[in-house]
Amino acid sequence: MKRNRHIKPHHNGKNRRTGRKSSARRNNKGPAKANSERAEEIRMKWIAAKQEEQQRKASEKAESAAGPCCASEAALNMTNLRLLRELQSTVCDRVWNDLLGRWEGVIPRAFVRKNAVHMHHFREFARENGYRNR
């Protein structure tokens, strides 16, 4: 029996392939509804607030990026120790190092992404403590 598969897949509110009811087919967008003046004012206030928030976040990000991630040597050491404890508590893949003759943990990518700000000084510290980046 020939089915009209390629013409009008939705006929009389049913899908020809599945036989299930389908919602009304809308080929074209309906006419745009005009906003009231009050709705337009509310929308413009919302847009202004969003733009202000974006500018504030951008300025905060620029201010935080200006300085180093850790203010002093003591803060850097504390951060390295904290990150090492966190890394040791996570399950890592291990790889055999032929040169040193020991197992080395591989730092997970999620950990690297999460602590990307500190990775430039933590990678060396982790390498000294038996972890590798990849």
The mean predicted confidence, pLDDT, of the chain is 85
pLDDT of residue 51: 97
pLDDT tens readout for residues 22-66: 876 667 776 656 678 888 888 889 999 999 999 999 988 887 766
For residue 63, the model assigns a pLDDT of 76
The DSSP call for residue 120 is H
**String of DSSP letters for 16-46:** TTT--B-PPP--SPPPPPPPPHHHHHHHHHH
Residue spans of the domains in the chain: they are: 73-132
Which residue type, as a one-letter code, is found at position 18? T
Q: Provide the 10 A C-beta neighbour count for residue 84.
A: 17
* Separation between Cα atoms, residue 119 and residue 111, nearest integer Å: 10
CA angle 88, 89, 94 (to 5 degrees): 55
pLDDT digits (tens, 9 = 90+) for 68-87: 788 889 999 999 999 999 99
Instruction: Say what the pTM is.
Output: 0.51
* pLDDT value, residue 66: 67
List 131's β-bridge partners, or say none: 105
Q: Which residue has the higher pLDDT, 56 or 6?
A: 56
Q: What is the mean pLDDT of residues 117-123?
A: 91
Q: Supply the pLDDT for residue 107.
A: 93
